[in-house]
Amino acid sequence: MQNPMKMMQQVQKMQSRMAKVQAELENEELEATAGGGAVKAVANGQQRILSITVDPEVAGDLEMLQDLVVAAVNEALERSRELAANRMQEVTAGLGLPPGLV
């Protein structure tokens, strides 16, 4: 078991790095498309949708358009979650925390 003071310093250092990563994630943009690029969704690293672009040619088929928007948004959010998880894993690497704790 490590000395409690050293452990506290490590926790504070990790919190500082996590705050920095969160700020960086806000500026990261992840793009996903559906329908061969007919619909494009852009999300940031904090799982917020920034924009959705629709090719006017698919606007006539409302049902297909709705499906494509959902697919593009879900893919953009999944990419955002993966990016955030990877960045947080980098921050917590070496701390000996059990998987899934962070």
Residue 40, number of CB atoms within 10 A of its CB: 19
> What distance lies between CA 13 and its chain's CA centroid?
22
> How confident is the model at residue 2, as a pLDDT?
61
Dihedral (CA of 101, 24, 38, 63) sign? positive
> How confident is the model at residue 21, as a pLDDT?
87
Residue 45, number of CB atoms within 10 A of its CB: 22
The structural domains of the chain, ordered by start, are 4-92 (3.30.1310.10)
Q: Which of 66, 62, 56 is CA-nearest to residue 34?
A: 66
1 has pLDDT over 70: no
pLDDT tens for each residue of 38-84: 999 999 999 999 999 999 998 889 999 999 999 999 999 999 999 99
Q: Structure tokens of 86?
A: 């990877």
Residue 79, number of CB atoms within 10 A of its CB: 18
